Amino acid sequence: MAGPTVHWFAWLKDEIGQEGGSAKILSMPNSDDPNPALWVRTLRMEIGPLDENTFIVAHSLGTVASMRYLQEYPDARIGGLILVSGFDQRLSNIPELDRFMDWQPIDHSTIRHMTAHCAVITAKDDEIVAPELSVALARSLDADLIELDRGGHFLGSNGFDTFPQVWQKLRQQASAR
140 is catalytic: no
Task: For residue 173, give the amino acid letter.
Answer: Q
126 is catalytic: yes
The answer to whether 147 and 135 are in contact (CB under 8 A) is yes
DSSP label at residue 97: G
Quote the radius of gyration of the chain (alpha carbons, Å).
15
Question: Which of 85, 88, 126, 134 is an active site residue?
Answer: 126
Burial profile 91-107: b = 16 or more Cβ within 10 angstroms, e = fewer: beeeeebeebbeeeebe
DSSP label at residue 83: E
Query: Strand ranges (DSSP E) for the chain?
Result: 55-59, 80-84, 118-123, 144-148
Question: Which of 7, 60, 85, 117 is an active site residue?
Answer: 60
What are the residue numbers of the active site? 60, 126, 153
